[in-house]
Structure 1
């Protein structure tokens, strides 16, 4: 496989047509080598339009989803970022190149180890990887400028919203099968939030994610 041709094709055929037009984001996809964060067994499909399998039954998000979320969050160089769901560490690496510091949390020890290894091997020094359940927020380090939830949330916990700074943005995939909404939620003030539905998709729910209340008859 011609790696650079495959990367070019990914950007031009998958990502740009998905309204990812921010040149800084597109450039970053060439700088942060996605193939270095993909398990060796799946290296040949590192740039395919699909969710690459990871250990512990998890998956990387599809490249166009990662890129679109990164664009919509519009992270600034001084901002602190919480990522929920470290996976292979790839999304954390992208976030880290745009922000000041990233804390990425995963509930699976093998993924914490994988993300730490990949980030160190690729020279990403402004990411901390933590083991734990952040499906309903992560108070240590809050409030954050940006929160990126790299997994599905059947409902959006209020506690997570409360961990945003004023002016902060949260990216989340909210809802249940068959269709979920990728949302960017901006904190306007202490009590108000603006919700922007960006696209529809389906992403597996985070382990232990809050469930919507069920009707009882």
Structure 2
């Protein structure tokens, strides 16, 4: 052929191959297209990574223009939990700290991970900083969009009064415990709770160190107290 024509043709071919590489086609398919000498009516589009399809931006029959987002993929074996860290806690929070997560879908279960990222900017409205916890999710039980509660191990180790989670009962929206006053007698006590971790609940107010609380049977005790309260109310009528 004419050398003057071969140069531009080679440049066009090289440019076409580069565009196909950008689209993710392997060299074997590019070579097969070049050998066929004609375009294919259908072309397989391969994802750059293995994962699960979270969103589809196209349906069968749609024309895909340059820059069109076809699918949104994610690898569910490792997930991020995004959270807001209070400004007052920043001095004690460090990337790499152990974190314990709880989700409403699996009551009583805990998922453990590490704080992978702490943002640099404080939100002016909430006075919080963005944080991100990374944790393994081999069974895929944690789903995108779930709400979580997280407890992060802090650098400032402090003493805390804590009781087993089973000792704290919900009574019309208030947290209560039953404090032992005798061999088989208890008094109901409202408490203010704090962080939860490892099956324990921090008690900020309402309980003193050394006081014994009912760890099991709290629901039955609450029922008995309600019965006593109803009898007292009827007695005053």
Structure 1-normalised TM-score?
Answer: 0.27
Determine which structure has the larger strand proportion and give its number: 2
Q: Which has the higher helix share?
A: 1
Higher relative contact order (CA 8 A, sep 6+): 1
Task: Give the alignment's TM-score, normalised by structure 2.
Answer: 0.25
